[in-house]
Amino acid sequence: MKHGKKAQQQRRRFRLKVLHHPQNIYLYEELIGKTVEQLKEILESLVEEESKLNESKTDSGDTE
């Protein structure tokens, strides 16, 4: 894990994005110590889950 100022800012930014995401299941304490790459993967998985939920909602709405 990188320890520079820029790396710390990136980790903080991605942690906050994950925490404020509507599908978030993580606590702040769980995200501390994760690398930027790990945080990006978590955020991508949350976005994928959200898009799947949105697709299923629109699919069920189209049949009505």
Which pLDDT tens digit goes with each residue over 22-52? Answer: 889 999 999 999 999 999 999 999 999 999 9
pLDDT tens-digit series, residues 50-63: 999 888 888 776 55
User: Cβ distance 24 to 49 under 8 Å?
Assistant: no
Q: For residue 16, what pLDDT band results from cuts at 50, 70 and 90? A: very high
Q: Angle CA(8)–CA(14)–CA(9) in degrees, nearest 5?
A: 20
- Is 5 strand, coil or helix? helix
What predicted TM-score, i.e. pTM, was given to this entire model?
Answer: 0.78
pLDDT at 59: 76
| Domain layout of the chain by residue ranges | 5-62
